[in-house]
């Protein structure tokens, strides 16, 4: 454990997923933004590595632990009044939620901001989205001031798939025609909203569910954007779902991820472009303090 010397009258903000990863690195952005605002941050990392060292260098107190292990979570929660919870798309979300909610309740935490998915619902079309809804319920029952950030698809997700296929020149996804619509958001915008909500532990949250959509684009517009700013022309290749699944198993090496994405792409293929969730939400500006990052900005920023 590394301890930074900051003191904060509201106690440290506990941030999970703090090292960042393959998805949105939301936790890493939350740590940076809160430190920039003068808050003290306890950063929970899964592994002690160079990412953890970088967090300590920024000024965070770094603790190592597994979110599924109640002993680690209880230890990390000591003296905390507000916390950010995120758990990657892999097995164990409900185990981690249960441990985190129990530890937060025991410690008297007043605000937990957690990242969920745009269409979290008991009847949602992917098993992971249904798990997110259950997770939201558990946090609500715990009475820890939970706010659920229901986020659209992260830009980082597209970026990862693009880098994985055709050396960055092909976006190979089973999305049907190029006119298929995707609701999108930058991982950094999700983090900015989380930091906005965590920065004021005594302020009233705007509601327990916050929808986050930063941009709505067709797949054709996505590849056009990458072609306009990136080093090479990018084309979209509509791959059959079975082929995609086979390729995805090799890329992600995680059955949970592949299963979630397989169902998600099938939903996007089927959903009408005028779906009620396909709108840029004002929440990124009102709670995050600035207009949403556009895909073009994200790609141009490298």
Residues that bind ligand NAP in the complex, under the rule CB under 6 A: 17, 19-27, 46-47, 66-68, 86-89, 92, 115, 117, 151, 153-154, 157, 187
User: What gap in Å lies between CA 57 and CA 59, rounded to an integer?
Assistant: 5
User: What gap in Å lies between CA 125 and CA 118, rounded to an integer?
Assistant: 12
The residues, any chain, with a CB within 8 Å of residue 259's CB and separated by 6 or more, are 126, 127, 128
Cβ proximity to ligand NAP: between 63 and 144 the closer is: 63
Cβ proximity to ligand NAP: between 20 and 196 the closer is: 20
Task: In angstroms, give the least distance from the CB of 139 to ligand NAP.
Answer: 13
Give strand pairing partners of 45.
64
Which residue, judged by CB position, is nearest to ligand NAP in the bound state? 21
Cβ proximity to ligand NAP: between 217 and 232 the closer is: 217
Cβ proximity to ligand NAP: between 82 and 157 the closer is: 157
- Helix, coil or strand: residue 272: coil
Task: In angstroms, give the least distance from the CB of 3 to ligand NAP.
Answer: 19
The residues, any chain, with a CB within 8 Å of residue 46's CB and separated by 6 or more, are 19, 64, 65, 66, 67
Task: In angstroms, give the least distance from the CB of 137 to ligand NAP.
Answer: 15
Task: In angstroms, give the least distance from the CB of 286 to ligand NAP.
Answer: 19
Task: In angstroms, give the least distance from the CB of 86 to ligand NAP.
Answer: 4
User: What gap in Å lies between CA 20 and CA 87, rounded to an integer?
Assistant: 10
Task: In angstroms, give the least distance from the CB of 141 to ligand NAP.
Answer: 19
Determine phi and psi for 249, rounding to 5 degrees. -60, -35
Cβ proximity to ligand NAP: between 134 and 203 the closer is: 134
Tokens 């080093």 identify what position? Answer: 231
Task: In angstroms, give the least distance from the CB of 202 to ligand NAP.
Answer: 26
Cβ proximity to ligand NAP: between 19 and 280 the closer is: 19
- Helix, coil or strand: residue 17: coil
Cβ proximity to ligand NAP: between 10 and 251 the closer is: 251
The residues, any chain, with a CB within 8 Å of residue 64's CB and separated by 6 or more, are 1, 44, 45, 46, 47, 48, 52, 72
Q: How do beta strands 215-218 and 181-185 pair?
A: antiparallel
């Amino acid at each position: 454990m590394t301890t930074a010397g900051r003191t904060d009258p509201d106690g440290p903000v506990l941030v999970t997923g703090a090292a960042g990863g393959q998805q949105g690195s939301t936790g890493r952005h939350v740590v940076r933004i809160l430190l920039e605002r003068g808050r003290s941050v306890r950063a929970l990392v899964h592994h002690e590595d160079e990412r953890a060292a970088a967090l300590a260098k920024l000024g965070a107190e770094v603790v190592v632990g597994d979110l599924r292990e109640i002993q680690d979570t209880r230890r990390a929660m000591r003296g905390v009044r507000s916390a950010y919870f995120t758990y990657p798309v892999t097995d164990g979300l409900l185990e981690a939620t249960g441990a985190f909610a129990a530890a937060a309740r025991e410690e008297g935490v007043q605000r937990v901001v957690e990242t969920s998915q745009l269409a979290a619902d008991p009847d949602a079309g992917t098993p992971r989205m249904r798990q997110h809804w259950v997770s939201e319920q558990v946090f609500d029952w715990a009475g820890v001031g939970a706010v659920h950030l229901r986020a659209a698809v992260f830009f980082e997700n597209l970026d990862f798939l693009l880098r994985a296929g055709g050396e960055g020149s092909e976006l190979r996804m089973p999305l049907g025609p190029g006119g298929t619509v995707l609701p999108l958001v930058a991982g950094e915008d999700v983090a900015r909203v989380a930091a906005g909500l965590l920065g004021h532990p005594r302020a009233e949250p705007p509601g327990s569910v916050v929808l986050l959509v930063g941009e709505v684009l067709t797949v054709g517009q996505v590849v056009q954007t990458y072609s306009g700013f990136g080093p090479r022309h990018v084309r979209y290749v509509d791959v059959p779902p079975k082929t995609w699944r086979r390729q995805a198993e090799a890329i992600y090496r995680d059955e949970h991820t592949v299963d979630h994405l397989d169902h998600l792409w099938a939903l996007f293929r089927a959903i009408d472009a005028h779906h009620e969730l396909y709108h840029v939400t004002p929440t990124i500006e009102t709670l995050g303090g600035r207009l949403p990052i556009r895909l073009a900005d994200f790609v141009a920023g490298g």
